[in-house]
Structure 1
Amino acid sequence: MTIDKNIILERDGKKPILIDAFYHESKTNQPIVIFCHGYKGYKDWGAWNVMAEHIAKAGFCVIKFNFSHNGGTMENPIDFPDLEAFGNNNYTKELDDLDAVITWAQKHFESNSNININKICLIGHSRGGGITILKASEDTRITKLITLASVSDFGNRFGTENEIKHWKEDGVKYVVNGRTKQQMPHYYQFYEDFKANENRLHIESAEKQLTIPHLIIHGSKDTSVNISEAEALHKWNPNSEFKIVEDADHVFNTKHPWPKNELSEALKFVVESVVEFIK
């Protein structure tokens, strides 16, 4: 298997994006599978590398990337050395990043006859799940969708009216990162961008409009995103498949760092479900 790490996608007037690609030189007709990390996440978090390798082994071209404003840099893609970028992130920037990665993947692999650039599956974890639902509903290049522990609503995550008022007055609010102990900023532009693009960023509408297969996977013991959000997605789109991973938390019983080369039982179930669904 070929693993190309930390490919830099340069963009005019925009922050670059860091990409990993896992694929086979000999297996034919490999669909492209693009993984989107979640909030306070990055492509090299925990077990995501092991997960990508396992999915690729089954005959897929797996791509994962860091959103351009996730707080990482080209030199240090793990953790959050660039908090200024993190504070200036928003949902439409992430949709734009994903669009750029899809376009890059099709172009990068168009001369590789073993990779099927017309079969593109998105996998999104947590907030990345919401982004992939929106993207899949508006982009005909996407042929399948998988969400892991996905959110079902972006609008209910900004706090109370009073908290939003204070946020506007201060221009910034901070969230503590439990692992790194950093005070992570969110500039008020995040909320303004959401309000300006509220229709486009409405996950319920996007889910109801989906015409491609959607696999919804959620852990029964997820304390970060309640399983009721997965149930809502499935209700809005009764054609979707819904799998509950018993006794699994938000990251399917993995953690960062993840020094092992094998998957947790919960993530193994996720990977097997993903492979079966895409095949």
Structure 2
Amino acid sequence: MTSAPLRVTRHDLPVIHPEGERTLWCDITVPEVVSRGTFLIAHGFKGYKDYGMFPRLAWTAARHGWTAIRFNFAHSGMTRADSTFERPDLFALDTWNRQVSDLDQLVAAVRAGGCPECPSDGPLVLFGHSRGGLASILAAGRGLAVDAVISASAPMDPLRFTDEDLRRLRQEGACPVESSRTGQVLSVGRAFLDEVELDPAGHDPCEQASRMAMPLVVVHGASDETVSCEDGLALAKASGVDPVLIEGGNHVFNVANPFHPEDEPSSQLAALENVILDVLRTF
């Protein structure tokens, strides 16, 4: 597949958190026509905006007339450098509420005309992968102002930790997690656990999926060995929708990292793209 490259605009969006101002590092892929709306791409745990399929999904949405924003969460530990977690100190502060706040502030910026190339009055569709999907559901269940949510490979448990990890969080205030991509040992902080235990309903994706006022599409690879497709079935059941199971799909829909947007996609990624385009065509 060859065509003229699409323009990508960098935008560093300031967001406010309890400790002060942080940054959402955004890449905005711009369609060649008047934009029909904005497509947001939320990455997962230890992920980042340039991982694997995300540039391809942004490219596909833009080719179909949508402005696409992929971004690094403010406490992902990632900045504009994709080879390392430059801010492990921020990673250690991450919680679900902080991710929900990022989504709230990003959507508010789009609605207020504060994101370049994004139509402030157009529809807004949120795609979240893995824990990004869980965060998207939590945000939408709490009232995020988007028009549809697509959750891919999302877990149903906000505390996917071993018993030993939970013990460390409670007794030591942190637990280590290794990035197989960079080799760094990062740290999850006690606040991640405390927040969920203080408000279990607010962090239950099945509960929040049932409260969503906008459509939810649940997609899962049928061969996902990282997050079982049973999680996708449970999320879909909670929201009263039929899940979309992609045959042979693993956790990342059989996409290598890195992956060039114009390379031939796996059949599983092509199937995911078709699901996304079906949603975008409804607006």
- The reply to whether TM is greater than 0.5 is yes
State the secondary structure of the residue aligned to 2:201. coil
Q: CA separation in 1, counterparts of 2:206 and 2:53?
A: 29
* Count of residues in Structure 1 that have an aligned counterpart in Structure 2: 272
* Contiguous gaps of at least 5 residues in structure 1: none
2:29 matched to 1:26? no
Alignment-derived partner of residue 139 in structure 2: 135
2:126 matched to 1:122? yes
Residue among 195, 198, 203 paired with 1:196: 198
Q: Deviations over 1:90-132 (max 9, x none)?
A: 11110111111111112236997x8363411111000011111
Query: What is the one-letter code of the residue matched to 2:27?
Result: D
Q: Deviations over 1:193-234 (max 9, x none)?
A: 222332211111111112322111111111111000011011
Q: CA separation in 1, counterparts of 2:115 and 2:29?
A: 16
2:24 matched to 1:17? yes
Q: CA separation in 2, counterparts of 1:38 and 1:152?
A: 13
Q: CA deviation at 1:241?
A: 4.0
State the secondary structure of the residue aligned to 2:91. helix
Residue among 18, 25, 43 paired with 2:49: 43
Q: CA separation in 2, counterparts of 1:261 and 1:57?
A: 11
Alignment-derived partner of residue 105 in structure 1: 110
Query: What is the one-letter code of the residue matched to 1:249?
Result: N
- Kept in 1, the 8 Å contact 2:143–2:212? The answer is no
Q: Deviations over 1:68-97 (max 9, x none)?
A: 0101124x2553122111111111110111
- Kept in 1, the 8 Å contact 2:110–2:120? The answer is no
Alignment-derived partner of residue 67 in structure 1: 73
Residues 168/33 of structure 1: CA separation in 2 closer, same or farther (3 Å cut): same
Residues 185/111 of structure 1: CA separation in 2 closer, same or farther (3 Å cut): closer
Alignment-derived partner of residue 242 in structure 1: 243
- Kept in 2, the 8 Å contact 1:47–1:258? The answer is yes
Residues 197/277 of structure 1: CA separation in 2 closer, same or farther (3 Å cut): same
- Kept in 2, the 8 Å contact 1:42–1:78? The answer is no
Q: What's the TM-score once normalised by structure 1's chain length? A: 0.89
Residue among 74, 78, 86 paired with 1:81: 86
Alignment-derived partner of residue 271 in structure 1: 273
Alignment-derived partner of residue 251 in structure 1: 252
Deviates more, 1:218-227 or 1:204-213: 204-213
- Kept in 2, the 8 Å contact 1:109–1:117? The answer is no
Q: CA separation in 1, counterparts of 2:243 and 2:138?
A: 18
**Backbone CA RMSD of aligned residues:** 2.2
- Kept in 1, the 8 Å contact 2:41–2:54? The answer is no
- Kept in 1, the 8 Å contact 2:221–2:248? The answer is yes
Q: What's the TM-score once normalised by structure 2's chain length? A: 0.88
- Kept in 2, the 8 Å contact 1:32–1:119? The answer is yes
Residues 79/267 of structure 1: CA separation in 2 closer, same or farther (3 Å cut): farther
- Aligned-pair identity (%): 23
Q: CA separation in 2, counterparts of 1:177 and 1:3?
A: 28
* Contiguous gaps of at least 5 residues in structure 2: 1-5
Deviates more, 1:54-63 or 1:258-267: 258-267
Query: What is the one-letter code of the residue matched to 1:256?
Result: N
Q: CA deviation at 1:260?
A: 6.3
Deviates more, 1:189-198 or 1:219-228: 189-198
- Kept in 2, the 8 Å contact 1:221–1:249? The answer is yes
Q: CA separation in 2, counterparts of 1:268 and 1:40?
A: 24
Q: CA deviation at 1:159?
A: 3.0
